[in-house]
């Protein structure tokens, strides 16, 4: 995976993270697994796979695997989104509604539990084989960029169309979310809920609605991430590892900044490749494993609120 695509994926995972953190103060460890789950569901629906077929077959001695139909990509994406909204509702109804007012660490633990549950559930539901995902996004080397750079520099830049698309979509998503949060009714309500529950209630905001909405938005972002990543390298369970890189992205971008997520994601995604390319050979390579974390560590020391985060003021 190249730097641009990796950066977009880090950014998208971080974005879903920021949304939930902003609106509910929940540090959602399961954001990466949500992307995996969304991608699994999308493939499952598109290919007409029977959910829980392994389980059904094992229990009833049957041998069902496919419904025998294929669902067009667009319809499948809509259906997957319905599933993600359903998931958001369930998560709120059966987990976080019961944990209102608990310590952040308890909420965090709950999301760890959710992550493991969702990973296992996705496995049982759709199987753990690596699945090909093709929703019709353009792929292959972008010849225009290749030509232009060749003419200008004497050698061509190979950039995958998919990566350009992913970057474009991610930036669009960020702009849309910023506009939504800043100017729409529900965006304003979301910021209000994030700020003070009591006050939000007193102006007539339904907290549960906002929480379900925010988890749904995070689910949507997860779906986009899942599509990009699944198209690139197949839907496989290693995606949840990518999610760990979202942490340094958050340290860079700030935990509450929507634009910070994308900027941080791209900096780390592209930065770790460049670093590996330039410095890597001098230190024996494999810098990608630690570059992001060291960068995050530097930020933690010198600018703990990140590039865009609100300044942290300790009240005494």
Partner 1 sequence: MSVMDQETHVTPDGRTIGGVLMEMRNISLRFGGVKAITDISFDIREGEIRAIIGPNGAGKSSMLNVVSGFYIPQEGEVWYKGSVRPQMRPFEVARQGIARTFQNIALFEGMSVLDNVMTGRLNHMTTGLLSQAIWKGKAEQEEIENREVAEKIIDFLEIQHIRKTPVSRLPYGLKKRVELARALVAQPSLLLLDEPMAGMNVEEKEDMSRFILDVNDEFGTTIALIEHDMGVVMDLSDRVVVMDYGKKIGDGTPDEVRNNQAVIDAYLGVAHD
22 versus 245: smaller Cβ distance to partner 1: 22
Residue of the chain from 103, 185, 241, 314 that contacts partner 1 (CB under 8 A): 185
116 versus 209: smaller Cβ distance to partner 1: 209
- What does DSSP assign to residue 308? T
Question: What is the C-alpha separation between 47 and 131, in angstroms, rounded?
Answer: 10
Asked if 134 touches partner 1 (CB under 8 A), the answer is no
Residue of the chain from 67, 75, 195, 285 that contacts partner 1 (CB under 8 A): 195
Least separation in angstroms between CB 177 and partner 1: 12
Give the binding-site size for partner 1 (rule: CB under 8 A): 23
Stretch touching partner 1 by CB under 8 A, among 24-32, 141-149, 187-195, 234-242: 187-195
13 versus 217: smaller Cβ distance to partner 1: 217
Asked if 303 touches partner 1 (CB under 8 A), the answer is no
Question: What is the C-alpha separation between 263 and 11, in angstroms, rounded?
Answer: 7
Question: What is the C-alpha separation between 85 and 226, in angstroms, rounded?
Answer: 16
- What does DSSP assign to residue 68? S
**Which residues from 196-215 bind partner 1, rule CB under 8 A?**
196, 198-207, 213
Asked if 178 touches partner 1 (CB under 8 A), the answer is no
Helices (H), the chain: 3-24, 31-46, 53-60, 73-94, 104-126, 143-153, 161-183, 185-195, 197-202, 207-233, 239-253, 258-278, 280-283, 288-302
Residue carrying the six token digits 């995050």: 296
Asked if 151 touches partner 1 (CB under 8 A), the answer is no
Residue 11: HSE in the Cβ half-sphere, 13 Å Cα cutoff: 29
Least separation in angstroms between CB 253 and partner 1: 18
Q: Is the dihedral of CA 200, 206, 207, 213 positive or negative?
A: negative
Least separation in angstroms between CB 229 and partner 1: 26
Chain centroid to CA 22: 15
The phi, psi pair for 309, rounded to 5°, reads -65, 160
Least separation in angstroms between CB 64 and partner 1: 37
Asked if 311 touches partner 1 (CB under 8 A), the answer is no
* Closest C-alpha among 249, 289, 288 to residue 266: 249
Asked if 189 touches partner 1 (CB under 8 A), the answer is yes
Least separation in angstroms between CB 215 and partner 1: 14
Q: Is the dihedral of CA 293, 299, 300, 304 positive or negative?
A: negative
* Closest C-alpha among 51, 32, 58, 47 to residue 131: 47
201 versus 298: smaller Cβ distance to partner 1: 201
Asked if 101 touches partner 1 (CB under 8 A), the answer is no
Least separation in angstroms between CB 81 and partner 1: 13
155 versus 183: smaller Cβ distance to partner 1: 183
The total of other beta-carbon atoms located within 10 Å of residue 102's CB is 13
Asked if 183 touches partner 1 (CB under 8 A), the answer is yes
176 versus 297: smaller Cβ distance to partner 1: 176
Least separation in angstroms between CB 68 and partner 1: 34
Binding region for partner 1 (CB under 8 A):
183-186, 188-189, 191-192, 194-196, 198-207, 213, 310
């Amino acid at each position: 995976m190249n730097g641009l695509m990796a950066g977009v994926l880090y950014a998208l995972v971080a974005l879903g993270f920021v949304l939930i953190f902003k609106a509910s103060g929940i540090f959602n460890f399961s954001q990466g697994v949500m992307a995996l789950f969304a991608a699994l569901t999308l493939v499952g629906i598109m290919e007409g796979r029977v959910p829980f077929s392994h389980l059904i077959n094992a229990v009833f001695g049957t041998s069902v695997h496919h419904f025998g139909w294929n669902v067009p990509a667009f319809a499948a994406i809509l259906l997957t989104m319905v599933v993600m909204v359903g998931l958001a509702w369930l998560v709120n109804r059966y987990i976080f509604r019961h944990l209102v007012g608990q310590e952040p660490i308890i909420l965090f633990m709950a999301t760890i539990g959710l992550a493991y549950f969702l990973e296992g559930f996705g496995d049982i539901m759709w199987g753990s084989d690596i699945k090909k995902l093709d929703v019709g996004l353009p792929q292959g080397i972008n010849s225009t960029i290749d030509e232009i750079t060749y003419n200008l520099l004497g050698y061509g830049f190979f950039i995958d169309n998919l990566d350009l698309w992913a970057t474009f979509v991610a930036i669009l998503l960020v702009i849309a979310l910023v506009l939504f949060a800043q100017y729409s009714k529900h965006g304003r309500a979301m910021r209000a809920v994030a700020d003070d529950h009591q006050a939000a209630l007193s102006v007539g905001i339904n907290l549960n609605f906002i929480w379900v909405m925010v988890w749904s938005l995070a689910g949507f972002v997860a779906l986009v991430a899942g599509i990009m990543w699944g198209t690139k390298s197949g839907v496989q369970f290693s995606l949840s590892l990518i999610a760990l890189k979202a942490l340094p992205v958050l340290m860079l971008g700030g935990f509450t900044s929507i634009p910070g997520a994308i900027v941080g994601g791209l900096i780390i995604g592209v930065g770790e490749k460049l670093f590996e390319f330039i410095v890597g050979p001098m230190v024996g390579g494999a810098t990608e494993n630690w570059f992001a974390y060291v960068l995050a560590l530097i930020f933690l020391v010198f600018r703990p609120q990140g590039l865009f985060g609100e300044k942290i003021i300790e009240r005494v």
